[in-house]
Amino acid sequence: MTSLPLNLENRDINEINNHVQVAFEDVLAEPPGLHSLDCVWSASYAVFECSKNCCYKLMTLLCGICIALEWGCTFAEIAFQHVWCHTPCLRVFTINALCFQKFYGTCMNCCLAPVCETCGLCFSKITVSNK
């Protein structure tokens, strides 16, 4: 399996984090009729964006590589479990269930089918008439 080249522009190509809305306009908004001074609104925007970007970059610098390592190991463990444990176990269960299904079906056809057929023939002779 070859991985695609790393896309440094669009880092969410599968759009799995569309729910994370952290732009200034998504977080702060003044309704019509309630506006702060333009200089306060502009300064708030600058402070918000700068602090958000700096804090995010600092947290990713300090924790991002360790967290990526942890998630990489977690998904490797999940893949290992599925390849070496869950899928073979499911295959064993499917093989055994198929065998049981054949055994159960044969028993039903041999034992229950004649009884049901006989009951059907007996009850088919009953007639109901409305007077």
- Digit-coded pLDDT (tens) for 36-88: 999 999 999 999 999 999 999 999 999 999 999 999 999 999 999 999 999 99
Q: Which helix (H) or strand (E) holds 117?
A: helix 113-124
1, part of any domain: no
At 83-125, the pLDDT tens digits run 999 999 999 999 999 999 999 999 999 999 989 999 998 888 8
Residues 6+ apart with CB under 8 A from 131: none
131, part of any domain: no
Residue 13 to residue 122: CA distance in whole angstroms: 68
6, part of any domain: no
11, part of any domain: no
67, part of any domain: yes
pTM of the model: 0.61
Q: Which range of residues forms the domain containing residue 68? A: 24-124
| Nearest of 11, 9, 15 to residue 64 by alpha carbon | 11
Domain count of the chain? 1
